[in-house]
Amino acid sequence: MTRRPRGIALALVLAWLVVYPLALVTVDALRDQGAWSFAHVQAFVREPREWQALWASVWISVASVALAGAIGIPLAFVFERLEFPGRRLLGALVALPAVLPPLVGVIAFLFLYGESGFVARTVTRLFGLASAPWRLQGAGAILLVHAYSMYVYFYLFARAGLARVDRSMLEAAESLGAGRWDGLRRVTLPLLRPQLVAAALLTFMTSLGSFSAPYVFGGGFRVMTTQIVATKLNGDLGLAMVQTVALAAVALVGLAALRRTQGGRSVAVVGKGTAPAARELHQPLARWGAAVVGWAFAAVLLLPHATLVLVSFVPIGTWTTELFPPAYSLGNYGALLRDPERLRPLLNSVWMAAAATVGTVVLALWAGRLIVQRRAQFGRTIETLTTVPWAVPGTVLAIALATVFSARQPWIGRWVLVGTAAILPLAYLVRNLPITAGSVLAGFRQLDPSLDEAAASLGAGRTRTLVRVTMPILRPAILAGAALAFATALGDFVTSIVLYTFETRPISIEILGALRQFDLGTAAAYGVILMLISAAAMAVGTRR
């Protein structure tokens, strides 16, 4: 096989999974009662509130990127480059916000920082206030949740990148008279650029499509995702589709802008040396100072998890106006493990997330090999296609997939998958493609092409090179991408709610059900289990 048809095959598969559903949504936006019409578009354009919501989505996302980067990048440097007591454990703990599924995380924030949450009530009592000193609402609350849950992208990607920065390059810079700051600015950051851009991309797109936080904390503050759901709930599907297309358009512009900064000169790491060893802090004051600050930071980061664990022990309906719940028991976990019907969502989530992750990694490796190593003709197209799913809010992607796969027309690539066990893993796969592909592609970009050539010159075949040379070097990138994808799929809420069936209902749907029943303890117990599985996956993903 020559390289050209291969590029076409992957491009077609991705177009079918990514572009085709969106095209159908766009067609829906331009149709009204079976005829072509601009009525919905006009309704959108003339309404100033729609523009306000769109603008809110954009600036919230930009601010989220700035905040997440400001937290995540320094953390990555601290944990990758400095040695202090508890570094390994803390380094793993700091990644934990990633294991808090969106819906569960938002609820935990509510228990913690909400008006009647632990923190607000403690402050109220400490200072003898009449009512809670703040309300967890509006843009500030959304940004808080976003910064908290998304700095992990920067942290993990930057760490994966830092681990692959060659010490010899830094030493070379030093010998040329560059100071530490110059080394950072002229050597390390340019080398990290693929990872940082990938992280910024993920953060921007996740914020743009974020739904739980604006819905719970938004109040009167509207962003596009909540606007779409409100419109759809109100039965105006046409307008909802226009709003969707508008949001997708903004996302695509953001995507193009960020991709521009990623392209151009790419810097390869010559893969001979090793990463700089972590610098031991010898001065006791600095040593313990770093440890104390690290632990304090980790404690703040872990508060939502702790809240969740605490609430999971609260028997139903025993906690009202007290500062802390008055009663605790293991009943919630007992009920969950005894009843096979309650255990099933857990097993469903695990196998569906695993299947989706395997599929995503295969596609990402395929794409990486074609784009970076073989410079396939359709490389740019393929890379764009892998990032497009982020340009679509989860709900919309799900609706679009449901539209495509609800008709039996194999000749135009449509099968009935709605209501089968296949559709949710497929949706997770598409949705997580950007995470895994972003990480794997960044890894490929840091590969030294001469290694491939060396393997070839020593007589290794293509497969052998992939398995023996490429994969081991890529392992950190693959594991990081796969772990994030697995954790995301495991806790996915917005896609699942559209596509689940009784047989395949995942854990987030069961959590929603428990929340609907006011069974906060059970919801929290599910959340804790979800968190533990995600944490295990992330531990595997960040281990090198």
Partner 1 sequence: MAAGLVLSACQRDGRTPLVIYSPHGRDLLALAERTFEAQRPDIDVRWLDMGSQDVLDRIRSERANPQADVWFGGPAMLFQRAVADSLLTPFTPSWAEHVPARSRGPNDLYVAAYETPAVIAYNTAALAPEQAPQDWEEVLTPRWRGQVVIRDPLASGTMRAIFGMAVLRSLRQTGDTAAGFVWLRRLDGQTREYVLNPALLHQKLIRQEGLISLWDLPDILIESSKGQPLGFTLPTSGTPVIEDAIALVRGTPHPEAARAFIEWVGSVAGQLLAAREVYRLPARQDLPADSLPDWVREVRARLVVEPMEWDRLATDGNAWMAYWDRNVRGRGARR
Residues that bind partner 1 (CB under 8 A): 47, 49, 110, 114-116, 137, 215-216, 219-220, 230-236, 316-317, 320-321, 344, 347-348, 351-352, 354-355, 399, 402-403, 406-408, 416, 418-421, 425, 497-498, 501-503, 505, 513, 515-520
- The least distance separating partner 1 from the CB of residue 524, rounded to whole angstroms, comes to 12
C-alpha angle with apex 24: 19 to 29, nearest 5 degrees?
120
What whole-number distance in Å separates Cα of residue 139 and Cα of residue 68? 15
- The least distance separating partner 1 from the CB of residue 399, rounded to whole angstroms, comes to 7
What whole-number distance in Å separates Cα of residue 359 and Cα of residue 364? 9
The burial class, CB within 10 Å (0-12 / 13-18 / 19+), for 296 is exposed
- The least distance separating partner 1 from the CB of residue 284, rounded to whole angstroms, comes to 47
Structure tokens at 462: 């293509």
What whole-number distance in Å separates Cα of residue 124 and Cα of residue 292? 27
How many alpha carbons fall within 13 Å on the CB side of residue 511? 32
- The least distance separating partner 1 from the CB of residue 461, rounded to whole angstroms, comes to 29
Cβ nearer to partner 1, comparing 74 with 419 = 419
- The least distance separating partner 1 from the CB of residue 521, rounded to whole angstroms, comes to 12
Cβ nearer to partner 1, comparing 115 with 174 = 115
- The least distance separating partner 1 from the CB of residue 226, rounded to whole angstroms, comes to 10
Q: How far is CA 110 from CA 114, 136, 292, in A?
A: 4, 8, 27
CB 471 within 8 A of CB 478: yes
- The least distance separating partner 1 from the CB of residue 353, rounded to whole angstroms, comes to 11
- The least distance separating partner 1 from the CB of residue 495, rounded to whole angstroms, comes to 13
Spatial CA neighbour of 167 closest among 81, 79, 290, 282:
81
Cβ nearer to partner 1, comparing 26 with 137 = 137
**Residue type present at position 198:** A
Cβ nearer to partner 1, comparing 68 with 136 = 136
Element (H, E) at 83: strand 82-83
- The least distance separating partner 1 from the CB of residue 433, rounded to whole angstroms, comes to 19
- The least distance separating partner 1 from the CB of residue 456, rounded to whole angstroms, comes to 35
CB 182 within 8 A of CB 96: no
Cβ nearer to partner 1, comparing 128 with 235 = 235
Spatial CA neighbour of 149 closest among 217, 86, 234, 83:
217
Structure tokens at 72: 């995540």
Cβ nearer to partner 1, comparing 119 with 291 = 119
- The least distance separating partner 1 from the CB of residue 425, rounded to whole angstroms, comes to 8
**Residue type present at position 215:** Y
Cβ nearer to partner 1, comparing 295 with 415 = 415
What whole-number distance in Å separates Cα of residue 199 and Cα of residue 382? 19
What whole-number distance in Å separates Cα of residue 71 and Cα of residue 93? 15
- The least distance separating partner 1 from the CB of residue 331, rounded to whole angstroms, comes to 14
Spatial CA neighbour of 259 closest among 371, 143, 162:
371
End-to-end CA distance of the chain: 35
Cβ nearer to partner 1, comparing 204 with 526 = 526
What whole-number distance in Å separates Cα of residue 114 and Cα of residue 307? 12
Tell how strand 414-416 and strand 406-409 pair up.
Answer: antiparallel
What whole-number distance in Å separates Cα of residue 247 and Cα of residue 61? 12
Cβ nearer to partner 1, comparing 9 with 421 = 421
Cβ nearer to partner 1, comparing 30 with 418 = 418
Cβ nearer to partner 1, comparing 65 with 499 = 499
Instruction: State the DSSP code for 412.
Output: G
- The least distance separating partner 1 from the CB of residue 233, rounded to whole angstroms, comes to 5
What whole-number distance in Å separates Cα of residue 283 and Cα of residue 298? 22
Cβ nearer to partner 1, comparing 171 with 236 = 236
What DSSP string describes 144-159? HHHHHHHHHHHHHHHH
CB 188 within 8 A of CB 162: yes
Cβ nearer to partner 1, comparing 266 with 501 = 501
Instruction: State the DSSP code for 269.
Output: P
Cβ nearer to partner 1, comparing 339 with 453 = 339
What whole-number distance in Å separates Cα of residue 96 and Cα of residue 258? 27
What DSSP string describes 166-211? -HHHHHHHHHTT--HHHIIIIIIHHHHHHHHHHHHHHHHHHHHH--
- The least distance separating partner 1 from the CB of residue 516, rounded to whole angstroms, comes to 5
**Residue type present at position 114:** G
Structure tokens at 408: 């039996």
